[in-house]
Structure 1
Amino acid sequence: MGRGDLTNEEWHRLEPHLPLYGRRGGRWASHRRVINGILFRERTGIPMAGSPDEQDSPRQRRWWQTSRAAGGPPGQWGDAPQMIPVLERVRVARKGEGRPRTRPGHLSADKAYSSRRNRRYLRRRHIKHTDPEPKDQRANRQRRGSRGGRPAGFDKEKYKRRNEVERTINHLKSFRAVATRFDKRAYVFHGTVTVAAIRLWLQA
């Protein structure tokens, strides 16, 4: 087993979620070998064409393209305008039957996401949220008096848990393909992050 390959424990945890062998396209090499090739690219950040010959194959590239099929917002844009598009994409499957959840139980965000538009959206969807109000926005609200609206609620204890998100991002950046972001398109990078997140889940 090479460095960074799936351990036996990780493989046994992942295998039940993979397609069955022998479906479309006939028989092929094991899923485990292909996934290890994908993880090699995640860890090193090299292009798929530069992965080891024994792991690089047309099927591996198809797996990689499939894993990156989901879309994502452009990461180079401003933070605040991206909050609503990201929340609109939330889909959390329920155990058993039923439509997926589309509303988080609570949202914590930093000052970069604070805006009247975002707050109106969160109130309209009844999403509880904790995000600090920047000084300039607070001063503008106070200057307008009663027309400025009520001050935003702020829970310091909940806000402290933002560090869990920051630590998770740091763990994701331990994968060179995530940290360097050589992927040009947003949907491609979304797939790169998704594969890294799956590996962290396997290691948990």
Structure 2
Amino acid sequence: MRRHELTDLEWELLAPYIPRAATGRPRVSDRQVINGMVYKIRTGVSWRDLPERYGPWQTVYTRFRRYALGGVFTRALQQIQAETDAAGDVDWMVQIDSTIVRAHQHAAANRQKGGINRTDEPDDHALGRSRGGLSTKIHLACDGRGRPLAILLTPGQRHDSICARPLLESIRVPRIGLGRPRCRPDQVIADKAYSSRGFRAYLRKRGIAHTIPERTDQRRHRHNRGRSGGRPPAFDREIYRRRNIVERCFNRLKSFRGIATRYEKTATSYQAAVSLASFLLWARSA
């Protein structure tokens, strides 16, 4: 096994979800091609610069694109989450946060007239203008051990509070056997960007405990209203100390250079790359 390639355990976990051709001419080994995808995401090289040991770069790219459109890596991620949850090893004290990812100039080609236009691809390709320039924002929900539970991509200028509900609603950990997927955390930890009356009311309605600090302007506004301002929201500083777990999860994801900088033109491909990297984080925590 070379550096930046799948271990035997990682391949054993991923192999059942890789589609196999029943007919046709002999093709490049699935493990060889997946290793090429992992190498590309880990190092950030262009598809054309993949080492020859992974086979023709066109083959690696074509299969990656096919798997991205088919949701192969998303299903693999959900399955490893389900198996870990069935073993009782998922900490449902969930942390949410976001991070900005700069987009390389090669990722901006779709914004020109005549770019890629698919029904499953957002019109903006999850690209937008933020203070740092053209960027994408990764919204992440991770469990108490720093492993991704849900991922949401938006343009870089999108505010965190707008995406809080869609992010939590995208948590769906299937059950092994019968039963509905688990969608509700025991508790949510978030920073001040998520502090709003609407989001707190949403969490209370779903029966989810939360630890979110109140913003200074909200505290001042409540004090100015006097008794009609209501009580301050409950806040446990000891629990809030655990919020660094989501930051460490981002650090591990961004150790993949193809995640830390967006080179992919489509949101579908970039989402698949993040899902594959997230799957590896789960596999390596086993």
Aligned ranges for residues 114-153 of structure 1 at < 5 Å? 114-153=195-234
Equivalent in the alignment of 2:43? 44
Identical aligned pairs, as a percentage?
A: 42
Cα distance between partner residues in 2 of 1:28 and 1:81: 45
Greater Cα shift, 118-127 or 105-114: 118-127
Deviates more, 1:37-46 or 1:168-177: 37-46
Counterparts of 1:1-204 in structure 2 under 5 Å?
A: 1-15=1-15, 17-19=16-18, 21-23=20-22, 28-53=27-52, 54-58=55-59, 60-67=61-68, 69=71, 72-76=152-156, 77-204=158-285
- 2:228 & 2:25 partners in 1: Cα distance? 68
Q: CA, structure 1 residues 25+159, in 2 after alignment: closer, same or farther (shift >3 Å)? A: farther
Answer yes or no: is the 8 Å Cα contact 1:37–1:60 preserved in 2. Answer: no
Is the 1:4–1:43 Cα contact (8 Å) retained in structure 2?
yes
Instruction: Note the C-alpha offset of 1:93.
Output: 0.9
Deviation digits for residues 51-96 of structure 1, max 9, x if unmatched? 3342524465233442364683305111111111211222111232
Greater percentage in strand: 2
Q: CA deviation at 1:188?
A: 3.3
Structure 1 residue 12: Cα displacement = 2.9
How many angstroms apart in 2 are the aligned matches of 1:100 and 1:185? Answer: 29
- How far 1:46 moved relative to its partner? 2.6
The alignment's TM-score, normalised by the length of structure 2, stands at: 0.63
Deviation at 1:27, TM superposition (A): 5.3
Distance in 2 of aligned mates of 1:119 and 1:24: 54
Q: Which has the higher helix share?
A: 1
Deviation of the 1:26 alpha carbon = 6.8
Give the distance between the partners of 1:137 and 1:113, measured in 2 at CA: 12
| SS of aligned partner of 1:107 | strand
TM-score normalised by L of structure 1: 0.86
Q: Residues of 1 paired with 2:255 and 2:14: CA distance?
A: 21
Structure 2: state its 5+ residue gaps.
75-120, 122-151
- Once the two structures are overlaid, the 10-residue window that deviates more, 32-41 or 54-63, is 54-63
Pairwise CA RMSD:
2.5
Q: Deviations over 1:68-125 (max 9, x none)?
A: 6468330511111111121122211123211112221211000111112211211222
Equivalent residue of 1:160, what SS? helix
Task: Answer whether contact 1:107 1:129 (CA < 8 A) is retained.
Answer: yes
Number of equivalenced pairs = 203
